[in-house]
Amino acid sequence: MIATNYLLHLRIVCVNPPENIIEGRAVEFGLQGKRDALIPGTHSDQKFVYSCEAEATLFNDTRVMREIRGATIHGKRDEPFLYISLRFEGSGDVWLRRWKIMFNSLTDQMITLSDGRIIETAIDLGHGSSQPRATFLEAWKVV
């Protein structure tokens, strides 16, 4: 079995971000890394943009599922995801809300074609929704 690794440059565009004050308290909002670290994004035009890198491993045996891993990748091998997370400032690992950003629409072909290019998605965090997964406005695509 042959394994090929690919460096992924991921970009997530978030619309409808939460307010920066909830119940009179300041909040933190960002891409969640391991050990509960929040990675801040850039803000412009009512959008937050987050960037991170990950590594994908594709196998030449179709019985072996691909792997996506990195400092911001959560979940199991068969269902990796990113978290966009919200908490009160200074509250440690007590989350007000976490949204999962799944990789279902990211194909192996996109991974092989990305070669240093950015792979991007756009999501709507929809404040009123209690769904744990973000709503995709645009599926993952190579830009």
Determine the pLDDT at residue 128.
56
The C-alpha torsion from 137 through 138 and 139 to 141, rounded to 10°, is -160
Determine the pLDDT at residue 93.
79
Work out the burial of residue 61: count CB atoms within 10 Å of its CB; fewer than 13 is exposed, 13-18 middle, 19 or more buried: exposed
Ranges of residues in the chain with a pLDDT under 70 are 127-131
Determine the pLDDT at residue 127.
58
Determine the pLDDT at residue 129.
59
CA 85/CA 99 separation, integer angstroms: 6
Determine the pLDDT at residue 138.
92
Domain edges within the chain: 3-142
Q: What is the pTM of this model?
A: 0.90
Q: Determine the 3-state secondary structure of 114 from DSSP.
A: helix
- How many DSSP H helices and E strands does the chain contain? 1, 12
Determine the pLDDT at residue 20.
83
